[in-house]
């Protein structure tokens, strides 16, 4: 079922940019890339999503490669509160979400 591949864990120094990669080599033309994060004991929190253009909002930036086979989530200035598990999800019109194992990001003081 998994359509995405992410590293299991990453560390980032506080105040630096956190770059979280995701491979989705089998993505089809109408599928969006979504990013969520989950902090322990809370529900998944929506971060950003995109189809083919790069996107930016108040939380993060999403860079999608031209062939759309991979993407990177960028948290420009990581804080300790950004420590969480980050999920990259490919989602089509079927309105389904498959959360894989994600990347556990630890922001280090």
Footprint of another protein on this chain (CB under 8 A)? Answer: 32, 34, 41-46, 49, 85, 91, 93, 95-102
Closest contact distance (angstroms) between CB of 46 and another protein is 4
Closest contact distance (angstroms) between CB of 99 and another protein is 4
Q: What gap in Å lies between CA 29 and CA 15, rounded to an integer?
A: 36
Q: Are 17 and 77 in contact (CB under 8 A)?
A: yes
Return the number of the residue (26 or 45) whose C-beta is nearest another protein: 45
Return the number of the residue (94 or 109) whose C-beta is nearest another protein: 94
Closest contact distance (angstroms) between CB of 81 and another protein is 16
Q: What gap in Å lies between CA 97 and CA 75, rounded to an integer?
A: 23
Token duo for residue 17? 């940019």
Return the number of the residue (78 or 102) whose C-beta is nearest another protein: 102
What is the chain's alpha carbon radius of gyration, rounded to the nearest angstrom? 13
Closest contact distance (angstroms) between CB of 75 and another protein is 17
Neighbours of 57 (CB within 10 A): 11
Return the number of the residue (30 or 109) whose C-beta is nearest another protein: 30
Q: Are 33 and 61 in contact (CB under 8 A)?
A: no
């Amino acid at each position: 079922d998994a359509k995405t591949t992410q590293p299991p864990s990453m560390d980032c120094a506080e105040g630096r940019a956190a770059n979280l990669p995701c491979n989705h080599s089998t993505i089809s033309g109408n599928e969006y890339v979504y990013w969520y994060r989950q902090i322990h004991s809370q529900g998944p929190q929506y971060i950003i999503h995109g189809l083919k253009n790069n996107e930016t909002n108040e939380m993060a930036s999403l860079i999608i490669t031209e062939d759309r086979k991979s993407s990177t989530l960028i948290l420009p200035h990581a804080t300790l509160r950004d420590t969480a598990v980050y999920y990259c999800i490919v989602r089509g019109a079927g309105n389904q979400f498959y959360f894989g194992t994600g990347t556990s990001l630890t922001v280090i003081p």
